[in-house]
Structure 1
Amino acid sequence: MDILKLHELHTGVLDIHSDLAVQNRKDLGKAYTPGVAVLSKLIADNPELKNRYTMSGKLVALISDGSAVLGLGNIGPAGGLPVIEGKALLYKDLAGINAIPLSVDQVPVDEFVSTVKNLSGSFAGIHLEDIAAPRCFEIEQKLAQELDIPVYHDDQEGTAIVVLAALMNAAKVTGKSLKSLNVVVNGVGASGLATAKLLYHAGIKKLTLVDKYGVVTPRDSRYNAYQLEMAAKLGTNPALKDGQLSDIISGQDAFIGLSDADVLTKADVRQMNQAPIIFALANPKPEINPDIAKEAGAAVIATGSSQYPNQVNNILVFPGLFRGLLAAGINHVDDDLQIVVAKALAEMVKTPTAEKIIPGVFDKGVVETVSSSLITDADRRKDKQLV
């Protein structure tokens, strides 16, 4: 296969290139010994200067244990390496960000956190990838609390940001108020839960969560603590326990699928409110075929695939996000910041239509829009603190 030949030819898709040529003894003295002794002594006395004088100030760690690789499941740390290597390539090519892929064994949460924490001094940010729920929630939460550099889980924050951006414009297309939407989120793993939390923070309160056993309700021991906490925050009626998607789809304005193929039917779409919004984001096969959804009356359709209009893909976020985080010196990726990015992406589409609610992956200016939105917001927050 061509793909195997390509990756074998280069032993992967990444290399390290030097910024300083070493062609004589003088160059050697500047790049290595004895010159680095000056740097080492300075940084030993002032550790924070490492970010100014070494690549740690511009290097992102892309970390995975391969326990939840999109479309492939738990394929292990080695199996997850091609994914994070590919993302490291995208960081460099799209945003000029240096990222290095690292695989960590599927060890207990505290051991995973300790491993990353012990390595963190070499990096300016941590990008977590393809880590299964619920451990991914705890890992990110603990790392964000213990590290003073940005910690970002692409399956959570990246997905949530792009979904919110697309939903903002889908609401405009259908003539509905974003905050008034009735929304069902089908699939409440890492992506689904993070999306629900961000939609809630953005003002969408009429949310229903559906997972493998049905509607997620408070105090249902089959679900993890993070899912139950969100169900409680939403005030989900305990009587809906065991209710299936088809039981609660009536009266919904939007379906957001981050689950499995073919779980939404034509009959389901027809039960939804007028001008239903369908985000069937499962890969490689969506929750409903877009053509079937359209036949059933869907007004706006998005998928996770490049084969159809409105591709909701994390690549719209992560390269520009880290460029902005590093440029602005932002150390935490909070909900308000995510909304800033979502609004910036949505506003790139000046006149949303059913066929265009989100920028394309290769649309000009995506990385710049995301990064500049963070820099502008950081400046705004600083000015507010000075007042």
Structure 2
Amino acid sequence: MVKKIKNLKHEALNYHSKFPTGKIQISPTKDYSTQKDLSLAYSPGVAEPCKEIYRSYKTVYKYTSKGNLVAVITNGSAVLGLGNIGALASKPVMEGKALLFKIFSGIDVFDIEINESDPNKFIEIVKAIAPTFGGINLEDIKSPEAFEIEKRLKFELDIPVMHDDQHGTAIISGAALLNALSYVKKNIQEIKMIVNGAGSAAISCTRIYKKLGLNPNNILMFDSKGLLHSSRKDLTTEKEEFAVNTKLQNLSEAIKDSDVFIGLSIGGVLTEKMLKSMSKNPIVFAMANPDPEIDYNVAVQTRSDVIIATGRSDYPNQVNNVLGFPYIFRGALDVRATIINDEMKLAAIYAIASLAKESVPEQVNIVYNKKNISFGKDYIIPKPFDNRLITRVAPAVAKAAMDSGVARSPIINWTKYREILLDRMEYENKIIRMIQKRAQSNPKKIVFCNGEEYNILKSIQILQEKGIILNSTIVLGNKHKIQTLINKHNLKIDPIIFDPKKNDQKVKDYVNILLYKNKKIIKSNAYHIMQNLDYFGAMMVDQGEADIVMTGYSNPFRYSLKPILDIIGTNNLCQKTAGLMILLTKHGPIFLADIAVIKNPTTIELVRITIMTTKIVKYFDMVPCIAMLSFNNVLSKTNKIYKTVDFLHKKYPNLVVLHGESQLNLSLNKLCLEKNLTYFNSKISNNKANVFIFPNIESGNLTYKFFIGLEKIKTIGPVLLGIKKPAYIMQMKSNIEEIVNLSTFSVIDAQIRH
């Protein structure tokens, strides 16, 4: 659950007012640093795309941002929880909507607040500005005007238009309803539903439920004046659709033996007595904000069999529109749909509902501070930070647009399209996907030395689900403890478990090998040594019983390194190992070495570290650009850094070592590098440095920790360089994502070695 923010007013106002004020800004997408750039961006170059668009209006999607630009438009007449606060006061909400569009689907937004309450005038204003946009998201417009405004704009414009307050809630709650009914094994065609609220959202929700199979005769809808009865003379056209002729008069009577309660009204209207009168396994969607129709805790205390969803983020099953609108518009824009029709909405519902039944990515567990989220009463809809939504919902919507004949630019290659969708997200995730895809091509067997840890076991489940490691994964430790952890957290794995303390014959076999390999070890100590999990795991790899050994979770780095060196050892040419850390930044991977092993490397050791690191860089299909770092930019020729660079230039003339000795700031700044051509012993590259070789372990480790402390950066490492066979030492108490990333990389290493 999300903790309530203390001093919410102060925090919220500070959040919005700190520089730069607001939540969104416009950023250039093209170069603008030279006179040529400006002449292309504006006069005279800009005339050329203008003429092309004039010749054919379709080309506007080719030469402008229209195809990825949505207008979030309101008059502020029905802002959630605030009511009719007007256009200007609604701007923070619209900026917030713009932010959500951008971060979840990569769609750019202009928020437009129109100071007009007359529906006809509002429609004309929107129509007049519509050529700018690829789609229009109507927001916070009061009922019944919202129905007319959306209906006319959908008919009179040839771009997607959607009033999210209506359809967003309908789509997300529709997915939740399907899954809730599936969980309690009830048929949507047979259930009895009570809808409390008859505004635009409630009516749109109920309409979509009917399209999902709900029997219209089994719906009773209430507004602030009571049941929508056919005898009432005050009903709008939309409300008349749900008017019934029945003797029932009030909510407490109507709700008896009902299966589903849908609340889009006011807080506290559903009492404990009413909830108790509902049928077995009742489904309650109390979506009033900020106070639900019944408090979540009250509901679950009243009935243990209730499935409840709310609009709040601090309770399970939040009906959050962000699960839908970014991806619905994404799919609609990508096929240049003329409209968002019912087929597209239903496709979104089924895609969202289906996703909730799949295994949840670990990053979602981390965000919500859970260990193993899975489909059930407290998880009937996906979480907003599930990155899979974009690749499930957007393609489903796009395909539905194509199948229903409203797409003007159909998608041909769906695999490529999903890759493009993922590329719109963070670059760091793109790198992770790249190495995962490569690892999946030939999965390997890993022996995990720290098998009694939940994070290790959960990582194994993720790696096996992704097809990165073999199902014959080995874990070391106490079998009872490991199996208890697996059962407790309902992990879907069945690893091979070895406990050296219980496997006497295996230990004896390894002891003989150990004594043969290392004559310095005393025979009386050998048996005890081989019961150590790290020694045992390293020996399994040495003897070919596993492809990779993974350790380090429970012990400091140096304690885990010794068994690997004693059993597996280094390559003959390397003599010493070194530690490489890979940082996955928004601008691409950065490689830092040595950050873990050699305290004060010699010139020849720096050369070896550099060469070993460049081989790893090539795993990422990158050209290594090396910066040999030092305290000064100009050093004497007797300095070890100078000697290292000089040797590399002579021995490896094709290797790019940027400007020889260079400080960190110069290595990262391409412009600085180009201006400082007077350094002796230097090379020039068209790229910034991506490999940083440090003069000693202190500087390397401090720099690494500074980087990850400065901002949240995904990492892979440390990677042990120069070891004969794949052996990896994770950082102590690594999180699951770090373990998965390092394990994935280790599989690629094993593939290349083989």
- TM exceeding 0.5: yes
**Which one of the candidate residues 230, 242, 245 is aligned to 1:231?**
242
Aligned to 1:212: 224
CA distance in 1, matches of 2:281, 2:21: 50
How many angstroms does 1:379 deviate by? 4.3
Shifted more, 164-173 versus 326-335: the winner is 326-335
1:70-219 to structure 2, matched below 5 A, reads: 70-205=80-215, 206-218=218-230
Give 1 or 2: higher helix fraction: 1
CA distance in 2, matches of 1:336, 1:380: 9
How many angstroms does 1:291 deviate by? 2.1
**Partner AA of 1:4 in structure 2:** L
After TM superposition, which residue ranges in structure 1, 4 or more long, deviate above 6 angstroms?
Answer: none
Q: Does 1:222 align with 2:234?
A: yes
CA distance in 1, matches of 2:61, 2:246: 51
Aligned to 2:262: 256
How many angstroms does 1:216 deviate by? 0.9
CA distance in 1, matches of 2:104, 2:72: 16
CA distance in 2, matches of 1:52, 1:227: 44
How many angstroms does 1:348 deviate by? 0.8
1:294–1:5 Cα change, 3 Å: closer
Do 1:316 and 1:367's aligned partners in 2 also have CA atoms closer than 8 Å? no
SS at match of 1:198: helix
**Which one of the candidate residues 2, 9, 15 is aligned to 1:6?**
15
SS at match of 1:178: coil
Q: Does 1:333 align with 2:340?
A: yes
How many angstroms does 1:57 deviate by? 2.1
**Which one of the candidate residues 304, 322, 326 is aligned to 2:329?**
322
**Partner AA of 1:148 in structure 2:** D
CA distance in 1, matches of 2:100, 2:69: 14
Q: Does 1:26 align with 2:36?
A: yes
Shifted more, 92-101 versus 22-31: the winner is 22-31
Do 1:77 and 1:103's aligned partners in 2 also have CA atoms closer than 8 Å? yes
What RMSD over aligned residues (CA atoms) do the two structures have, in Å?
A: 1.7
**Partner AA of 2:393 in structure 1:** V
Do 1:60 and 1:126's aligned partners in 2 also have CA atoms closer than 8 Å? yes
How many angstroms does 1:174 deviate by? 1.2
**Partner AA of 1:342 in structure 2:** I
CA distance in 2, matches of 1:22, 1:78: 33
CA distance in 2, matches of 1:6, 1:302: 29
Deviations 1:262-305 (A, max 9, x none): 00011111111111111111111110012222233252111111
**Which one of the candidate residues 54, 59, 65 is aligned to 1:55?**
65
Aligned to 1:304: 311
1:263-278 to structure 2, matched below 5 A, reads: 263-278=269-284
Deviations 1:217-261 (A, max 9, x none): 236232222111x225xxx21655xx2211211121000101100
CA distance in 2, matches of 1:357, 1:303: 12
SS at match of 1:231: coil
**Which one of the candidate residues 363, 368, 377 is aligned to 1:354?**
377
Do 1:174 and 1:299's aligned partners in 2 also have CA atoms closer than 8 Å? no
SS at match of 1:180: coil
**Partner AA of 2:352 in structure 1:** L
CA distance in 2, matches of 1:224, 1:107: 19
Q: Does 1:342 align with 2:352?
A: no
CA distance in 2, matches of 1:147, 1:326: 14
CA distance in 2, matches of 1:238, 1:179: 20
How many angstroms does 1:20 deviate by? 1.4
CA distance in 2, matches of 1:203, 1:27: 57
SS at match of 2:189: helix
CA distance in 2, matches of 1:295, 1:25: 69
Q: Does 1:290 align with 2:296?
A: yes
CA distance in 1, matches of 2:231, 2:120: 26
SS at match of 1:26: helix
CA distance in 1, matches of 2:283, 2:11: 38
Shifted more, 344-353 versus 187-196: the winner is 344-353
CA distance in 2, matches of 1:221, 1:69: 28
**Partner AA of 1:338 in structure 2:** K
**Which one of the candidate residues 252, 273, 277 is aligned to 1:246?**
252
Deviations 1:67-124 (A, max 9, x none): 1111111111111111110110111111110011000113311100000000000000
Query: Gaps spanning 5+ residues in structure 1: where?
Result: none
Deviations 1:30-54 (A, max 9, x none): 1111111122222223223222211
How many angstroms does 1:185 deviate by? 1.0
**Partner AA of 2:345 in structure 1:** Q
CA distance in 2, matches of 1:188, 1:106: 24
Aligned to 2:414: none
Aligned to 1:15: 25
SS at match of 1:255: strand
SS at match of 2:253: helix
CA distance in 2, matches of 1:145, 1:218: 30
Deviations 1:192-239 (A, max 9, x none): 0100111112110221111111111236232222111x225xxx2165
Q: Does 1:364 align with 2:387?
A: yes
Structure number with greater CO (CA < 8 Å, separation at least 6) is 1
SS at match of 1:163: helix
Query: Gaps spanning 5+ residues in structure 2: where?
Result: 1-9, 358-373, 407-754
CA distance in 1, matches of 2:204, 2:404: 24
How many angstroms does 1:359 deviate by? 0.5
Do 1:250 and 1:272's aligned partners in 2 also have CA atoms closer than 8 Å? yes
Q: TM-score, normalised by structure 2?
A: 0.49
Deviations 1:324-355 (A, max 9, x none): 11112222122222111111111112273111
Larger radius of gyration between Structure 1 and Structure 2: 2
Do 1:263 and 1:287's aligned partners in 2 also have CA atoms closer than 8 Å? yes
1:34-45 to structure 2, matched below 5 A, reads: 34-45=44-55
Do 1:165 and 1:343's aligned partners in 2 also have CA atoms closer than 8 Å? yes
